[in-house]
A and B are shown apart, each in its own frame.
Chain A
Amino acid sequence: MNAPLSRTAPAQGAAPLITAKGITVTLGGHDVLRGVNVDVQRGEILTIVGPNGSGKSTLLRALTGAVRPSSGTVTSAKGLRLGYVPQKLAIDAALPITAARFIGLPGRVSRDEATKALARAGASGLENRQMGDMSGGQFQRVLLARALLTKPDVLLLDEATQGLDQPGSAAFYRQIEEVRETLGCAIVMVSHELHVVMAASDRVICLNGHICCEGHPETVASAPEYRALFGTGTMGALALYRHEHNHSHDPAGADACQDPACGHDHSHDHGPAHDHGPAHDHGPAHDHDHDHTHG
């Protein structure tokens, strides 16, 4: 799973590509998101983590415009191109479609371009395969190829490695890494693979209906809100990562988290319905990493 993404510093001070201001999203009478503020900066890798049902996918869909917030605004930079890789996509068996045809939607591409795009996403030779006949990994790569074709300014990945085995998901993240290096696009990821994405990100948002904390991965991982949601297990994984790869880190950037951002929720918003607490036991799943953190 050691497929760290490179950390090129995002452009500072530039206008954000997407800005969500105080968005509240209500689905089926239930507030899935409450007063969420997010900026997506050019070239950054922003990761959204949170327990099931915390509104991660909804936030991503709000950023693409697929869900309209009941209050608050989402604004995008003019002419912004989005690449979106959904969590799952069920293609009806009644609809025959090859990979080469699929990635030409909605912008038509030549056969040659399709072949190149598939190769870039690690899906060479799948041109004539039916989308319905592919394995999970192949399908995800074709989705990625399609998302990359428009040379997006922002690539949005929703649990993109779901259903992949470990090597498959590591390879997928390596692909993402290459993509950012070649295209220089911003990447917004939703993932449950905390140890990988946390280590790979420039910035992490910990979501549970509202933003619990946000900032640099290390800062978030040590924030009490984050630990309340995920336990302390991921700290070990993060340390493991940092140990192996600390040569690539800019020490000056290590404390980039603004305290107000991490701490702003302490003062309000923690209603009784809010269940931070031991019920979320993501911790043990990562415990094995503890053994490797020192040394």
Chain B
Amino acid sequence: MLDSFLFRAALAGLGVALAAAPLGCFVVWRRMAYFGEATAHAAVLGVALSLALNMSIMIGVVAVAAAMAMALSALTGRGYAMDTALGVLAHSALAFGLVGISLTSGVRVDLMAYLFGDILAVGKTDLMVIWGGAALVIGLLAWRWQALLTSTLSPDLAHASGINPERESRILTLALAITVAVAIKVVGVLLIASLLLIPAAAARPLARTPEGMALWAAVIGGASALGGLRISLQLDTPTGPTIVCTAAALFVLTGVIGALRPRNTA
């Protein structure tokens, strides 16, 4: 089965969707959409570093994402607005990454594969990285779930319960970096944020609890990955964008369902 490129692509898409679902919920709840976007853009610099230093892309991307989070808190601490700081960092990292990749001598790099993903070219090693990363992210979130949720609702409530909200937000940053790193191959850096955001946003009208929203996001994300893969084969369209289009269509669908359903039913 693993010898079929379609089967590998389906597994890769599912793995990323499952990790992105609960994480995407936190991105939505904490209004971190732009932060997710910035981390994804910075990943290009991580890819450039990994190629230059000949190390795993996962390590390069996580390192750059961590550096970006630190630079971000340093900049906002010096009075820059959050969106300004994020914009400066995200686009600088993207530009430096693109320049860096072009400077990498020797191997010819398919830049498009990093920008838009190449899910049909996922190999067995890629699959192991994707599922390993996804398991790590899901494990981290499951382990810290209660504390993360409390910190998200109110940092003050978290403090009073003996939880350190800064620590929890560092854990989220780490999970985000890992997710971005494993999703590059599937949708590419330009569309990663959409895989975090759209399924979670689409899940909102269907859910009454945080856990329900995370589960619905996983269902919607998984359906988008599999559905998008199938549609892209039929229509011969690029797979990554087709997956995102499918998620967007589901977002509209759940929005309509939510609007039709009477509110405040207990």
Interface size on A, residues (CB 8 A): 28
Complex: A95 Cα to B32 Cα, angstroms: 13
Contacts A64-B160, A82-B161 given; does A105 touch B150 at CB 8 Å: yes
Name B's interface SS. Answer: helix
| Chain B 208-251: CB-based contact to A (< 8 A → 1; otherwise 0) | 11111100000000000000000000000000000000000000
Residues of the A chain whose Cβ atoms lie less than 8 Å from the Cβ of B156: 61, 64, 66, 84, 86
> Which of B29, B147, B159 sits near A65, CB closer than 8 Å?
B159
CB distance from A64 to the nearest CB of B (A): 4
A92 within 8 A of B: yes
B108 at the interface (CB under 8 A from A): no
Assembly CA distance A102 to B153 (angstroms):
9
Known contacts A105-B146, A106-B161, A129-B266; A96 and B213 CB within 8 A of each other: yes
Residues of A within 8 A of B29 (CB): 92, 94-95
Q: How far is the CA of A61 from the CA of B155 in the complex (A)?
A: 11
Q: Which of A122-173 contact B (CB under 8 A)?
A: 128-130, 133, 150, 156
Cα–Cα distance between A91 and B147 once the two chains are bound (Å): 16
Q: Is B163 an interface residue (CB 8 A)?
A: yes
B157 engages A94 (CB within 8 Å): no
A108 is an interface residue with CB less than 8 A from chain B:
yes
Q: Which of B153, B160, B161 contacts A95 (CB 8 A)?
A: B153
In the complex, chain B residues whose CB is within 8 Å of the CB of A133? 264
B209 and A94: CB pair below 8 A?
no
B26 CB to closest chain A CB (Å) equals: 10
A19 interface residue per 8 A CB criterion: no
Cβ–Cβ contact A89 & B157, under 8 A: yes
Interface contact A96-B204, CB-CB below 8 Å: yes
Residue of chain A at shortest CB distance from B29: A95
- How many Å lie between the Cα of A263 and that of B157 in the bound state? 35
Bound-state CA distance A89–B264 (Å) is: 21
* Number of A-B residue pairs having CB atoms within 8 Å of each other in the complex: 77
| Complex-state Cα separation, A129 to B266, whole angstroms | 6
The residue on B at minimum CB distance from A133 is: B264
B158 CB-CB contact with A under 8 Å: yes
8 Å CB interface, B21-36 against A? 28-29, 31
Contact of A106 among B147, B204, B264 (CB under 8 A): B147
The answer to whether residues A94 and B159 also contact, given A101-B209, A105-B149 and a CB cut-off of 8 A, is no
A105: B residues at CB distance < 8 A: 146, 149-150, 153, 157
The answer to whether B207 has its CB under 8 Å from any CB of chain A is yes
**Measured CA separation A89–B204 after assembly (Å):** 20
A83 to B161, CA, bound (A): 8
A-B contact pairs, 19 of them (CB 8 A): A84-B156, A92-B31, A94-B28, A95-B29, A95-B152, A95-B153, A96-B209, A96-B213, A98-B208, A98-B209, A105-B157, A106-B147, A106-B149, A106-B150, A106-B158, A107-B161, A128-B208, A130-B208, A130-B264
Using CB atoms and an 8 Å cutoff, list the residues of chain A in contact with chain B. Answer: 61, 64-66, 82-84, 86, 89, 91-92, 94-98, 101-102, 105-108, 128-130, 133, 150, 156
Extra inter-chain contacts (15) besides given A61-B159, A66-B155, CB under 8 Å: A66-B159, A82-B160, A89-B154, A89-B157, A92-B29, A94-B28, A94-B29, A96-B212, A96-B213, A97-B209, A98-B208, A105-B149, A105-B157, A130-B208, A133-B264
Sort A-B residue pairs by CB-CB distance and give the 8 closest, nearest first: A84-B160, A66-B159, A64-B160, A106-B150, A128-B266, A106-B146, A95-B29, A66-B156
